[in-house]
Chains A and B, each alone.
Chain A
Amino acid sequence: MGNDRIIGTAVPRKEGLEKVTGQSQYVDDMVLPNMLHGATVRSQVPRGKIKKITFGPGIAWDEFVIVSAQDIPGANCVALIVDDQPCLAAEFVNHPEEPILLLAHPHRHVLPKAVAAISIEYETLPAIFTMEESERGSQVIWGADNTFKTYLVEKGNVDKVWEQAAFIVEGEYRTGAQEQLYIENNGMIAAFDTTQGITVWGSLQCPYYVHKALMKLCNLPEDKVRVVQMETGGAFGGKEEYPSMIAGHAALLAMKSGKPVKIVYDRMEDMVATTKRHPSRTHHRTALDKDGKILGGEIGFTIDGGAYATLSAVVLSRGTIHAGGPYYWPNVRIRAKAVATNAPPHGAFRGFGAPQSLFAMERHMDRIAQTIGISPLEIRRRNFLKTGQTTTTDQTVQEPIELDKLFDHALELSGYAAKKKRFVAHNEDSAQKKGMGVATFLHGAGFTGSGERYLSSVVAVEGCADGRVRVLVSSTEFGQGTKTVLSQIVAETLGVSYEGVEVAQADTVKVPNSGPTVASRTVMVVGKIVQSAAQGIKQTLLASGMLEASYSPAEFCAACQKYIAIHGQLRSVAHYDPPAGVFWDDEKYRGEAYAAFAWAAYVAEVSVDLTTYSVTVDDFVALQEVGRVLHPILAEGQITGGVAQAIGMTLYEKVVWQNGRMQNGQMTNYIMPTSADLPPIRVFFEELGNVHGAFGAKGIGELPMDGPAPAIVNAIADALGVPLDSIPLLPEDVFEALNANESCPEPQPAGGTR
């Protein structure tokens, strides 16, 4: 390839013109003839047996299509990993807002009144709302013991480290639920006819997840289910698994009515009924030698999965593997557990468990530093993983990563040392306290362990009659830049222009299954397969003699046209090719967890106002190593967006729960950062290159979700001199932490040790 004209440049976003001119078609912009509008009748109680359903007076019920669990042609489940979640509750409900009935009517505005006119009597059952209640097992609401999944990671012998330790430091850390808050609410349109089967168009990340779920729910063969992704207005994981539920609902209404049905949630329904980030609790107990080197430790990581299994096992897995951070643990034992509560199921959200366990790890590093009396910088430097060392799962770090250099660079960019010195003086006589905080971390790209091998993704690249090249993947665009970067990869590989490549709409009758668009895998994993499929096209043209070894873009175009004129089709299909020598043991949770890690060092500067207790982030430096940056603007946009979302998780976004139901399901009372709330987010990349990904790229999308929370909370703790061990931290939480600390002071340096 050599010339690299397109990779690494900021070509315009493929679908950008339609977006800036308002022409893009999202699901709610689509109207089909005779289309009905659907609505969902949901449970009002967290747990109970449905006794009686009454259709109240004053509604012309004969104008409505009504669907209950009895109308389901196939299995009543949202097929995913464990098929425990019903598409419509038949007898029992296990969380507030669980779907029970579906209504459809030609006029959208009559639906809320009809939903409100349906009353459901329940025999209520005792419900549980916290991880602790779930673990105690006083009520068993799922399986034998409320446990969705456990993992045990063991390395070395932790039991022997305690007696050698100069210090033992213990801490417990918590993170709350977070709403993805894509600005486009969830939505789906379904149409059914007996010959074609069911077709759905929707806002979604994973067409083939929806495809699989609809086959099972509607009892239809593969070729009678078609899933088409519309332009998708943000997802962040929130449109990974839940679209299968809405697609199922729209499909059931369409099958019963014989008409197309649109279901688009309003904001409140989307916030209270769909998935959120798993709340977590992490317990660390760490043994260190006299110099602050980690000898070993025990980590307990627990997440609240809500009422059904959904993706909790996988979220738990990623959180578990990231729990040790970017540090060398000669001995470690990680016990992880996902438990059931009577809340709507928690689900995929950017970072997928890692932001939770890394928050704990990075807060704990600061606690260790304070306990043994060294700086938060020094404790990290002494424990960074080095090339050739092994992670907690015994994966050898192959990349030539130098974390101490990356860290020093970030500190320098942030002006850490000078600011730190200045703030000591400033804080002495000011009601506004300033602080600096750091976080160093890693994020594994692609599916965990054997995941990519099981997925066995397939992509196709084809030549078009006009000489252009088309990429066929189920990998979706929802803002991250999938279409743009995959086009760059193909253009670069074939030596054609970026404009000469397009990505087909993700439509299951047209595109092969390149796997779900999750886990920061699209560029690194799918991009590599796309590159190989593109090479296939080139080889076919070269072998046909229609293309010379050295060619211009115009010659490629002409050869492509000629080949298609003669042979009718020019198409190359490629499959995932696992890197050689990768070992992963699913039983023992040991081996190469990820094909590559991205590495980062983030630095936050904060002010805390002691009159209002509000926290402002004044400056934020995000430095990362993500392999080759294929598109500088898109890459930077991923980082700034992720940092902003993580600042939200840390300082603004608090889900208020009551009996398993979110009480603040509006944008007026669940607050995400506005343009006036954010610091300058200064983004820097270091490029080491990587053997696995397309053109040396690694995953990038989730990484920026991991570091900001601990960096900011470490900065707040630095400003206030009190420990803060949970997020979100709204002003009232800062106030409480300060008051609590007055009655229970922080252990002094070198205190709290054995």
Chain B
Amino acid sequence: MSGSHKKENRVKCELTLQVNGESKTVRVYPMERLLDVLRHELQLTGAKEGCGEGECGSCSVLVDGALVNSCLVPVLQVKDAKIITIEGLAARETPCRVQQAFLECGGAQCGICTPGMILAAVHLLDKRKQPTMEEIRERLSGNLCRCTGYMQIFGAVLASARQTAE
């Protein structure tokens, strides 16, 4: 979209990104936000813009296993990094166990924070197989949800952890 527009003092470059296990080459401005590249160039619209300043976490993605706000990351910075978005967690017909737990436990209401929240939960469960409630509260606190009051999200994370234990 912004591709054809002439912009002073800025030149597009070709970058290769590893997104959801696939290699993707895009022509972008190096300082473009990763969020915009994902949404506009790669049509991965699961990452959402809630605040544009790294506060709400609805644009969260995993970059080399770290949870980051894609609205704060210039795309140049993630060249060659492994990026996982909500679309890469599972095929649509078979949600991953965390997605399934959010579905069953009421972890998603309006759904706008859900992709980021699920990635935050996946990130937590990657590091801590059986997190305590305190760890869950702390590690999800960068992802804001206005609908649920978080309780059912905690329930979804605990249910996912229980499944791993079984």
Contacts and interface: CB of A to CB of B under 8 A. Distances in A.
Interface of A: 10, 12-13, 15-26, 28-29, 31, 106-110, 180-185, 231-236, 266-267, 478-481, 633-634, 636-637, 639-645, 666-668, 672, 674-678, 680-681, 683
B1 interface: yes
Contacts of B89: 21
Contact of A676 (B2, B49, B141): B141
Given A182-B110, A675-B140, A676-B138, A267 B51 contact: yes
B55 interface: yes
Nearest to B88: A22
Interface stretch (B11-19, B74-82, B150-158): B150-158
A19 B52 CA distance: 21
Contacts of A672: 144, 146
A10 B137 CA distance: 25
Given A183-B112, A637-B106, A666 B53 contact: yes
Given A26-B112, A183-B110, A636-B106, A479 B147 contact: yes
Interface string B75-115: 00000000001110110100100011011111111111111
A687 to B, nearest CB: 19
Contacts of A15: 111
B21 interface: no
B5 A106 contact: yes
A643 B153 CA distance: 15
Contact of A20 (B95, B138, B150): B95
Given A22-B45, A666-B55, A637 B103 contact: no
A645 B146 contact: yes
B109 A183 contact: no
Contacts of B114: 19-20, 22
A641 B108 contact: no
A22 B85 CA distance: 9
Contact of A21 (B51, B53, B92, B105): B92
A220 B101 CA distance: 47
20 contacts: A17-B92, A17-B95, A20-B95, A20-B111, A22-B86, A22-B87, A23-B92, A28-B45, A233-B113, A235-B110, A479-B110, A636-B106, A637-B109, A637-B152, A644-B149, A667-B53, A668-B53, A675-B138, A675-B153, A678-B150
A641 B103 CA distance: 17
B150 A675 contact: yes
A667 B144 contact: yes
Contact of B50 (A23, A180, A267): A267
Given A22-B85, A107-B2, A642 B49 contact: no
Contact of B104 (A12, A29, A235): A12
B55 A668 contact: yes
Contacts of A680: 151
A233 B48 contact: yes
Of B85, B137, B148, B151, which is in contact with the most chain A CB atoms at under 10 Å from its CB? B151
Contacts of B99: 20-21
Tell me what chain B mostly uses at the interface: helix, strand, loop, or mixed.
loop
B45 A29 contact: yes
A266 B140 CA distance: 23
Given A183-B110, A233-B110, A668-B55, A20 B144 contact: no
Interface residues of B, number: 59
Given A19-B108, A182-B110, A479-B109, A641 B50 contact: no
Contact of B103 (A17, A25, A639, A642): A17
A480 B109 contact: yes
B74 to A, nearest CB: 15
Nearest to A634: B106
A17 B110 CA distance: 12
B136 A641 contact: no
A641 B140 contact: no
B48 A681 contact: no
Contact of B108 (A20, A232, A643): A20
B111 A674 contact: no
A188 B56 CA distance: 22
A348 B50 CA distance: 21
B118 interface: yes
A183 B50 contact: yes
A61 B113 CA distance: 37
B87 A183 contact: no
Nearest to B91: A21
A16 B103 contact: yes
A82 B1 CA distance: 41
B49 A28 contact: yes
Interface in B25-72: 39, 44-53, 55-56, 58
B5 to A, nearest CB: 5
B146 A181 contact: yes
A640 B152 contact: yes
B144 A678 contact: no
A677 B136 CA distance: 12
A266 B151 CA distance: 28
Nearest to A676: B141
Contact of B112 (A13, A184, A677, A683): A184
A10 B104 CA distance: 8
A516 B98 CA distance: 34
Nearest to A15: B111
A12 B115 contact: no
Q: List 4 tightest A-B contacts by C-beta distance, closest first.
A: A22-B46, A233-B112, A479-B110, A644-B149
A479 B148 CA distance: 9
A426 B1 CA distance: 63
Contacts of B144: 183, 667, 672, 674
A675 B154 contact: yes
A637 B147 CA distance: 8
A674 B49 CA distance: 18
A708 to B, nearest CB: 10
Nearest to A668: B55
Given A183-B146, A645-B146, A667 B46 contact: no
A19 B111 contact: yes
Contacts of B87: 21-23
A16 B147 CA distance: 14
Contacts of A21: 46, 86-87, 89-90, 92, 95, 99
Nearest to B98: A20
